[in-house]
Amino acid sequence: MHTYEVLVDIKECLEMTSASCRSETARYEIDAESKDKVDRLARAQARSDHPQGIEYDIRVTRLLR
C-alpha cells in the first residue's frame, strides 16, 4: 500500500442552467495499491466532496510513502 498526493481540478456550477461556474483545485492524500486505483478513488472522493461538479481533472503528483 502506498500514499499518493493527488490534485483534482474541479469545475462546479451551482445550477445546471446557469452560465456561471467556478473552478478550484482540491488536494487529497490517497492510500492505494496502484496508480490506477488512485485515479478512481480520487475521482470518487472529489465527486463526494463536490457533488455539483461537472468536470474533474485528476493529477497524481507524487508518491508520498
The set of long-range contacts for 45-52, using a CB threshold of 8 Å and a minimum separation of 24, is 45/8, 46/8, 46/10, 50/10, 50/12, 50/26, 52/12, 52/13, 52/14
pLDDT category at 38 given cuts 50, 70, 90 is very high
The pLDDT of residue 13 is 84
The pLDDT of residue 36 is 86
Residue 17 has pLDDT above 70, yes or no: no
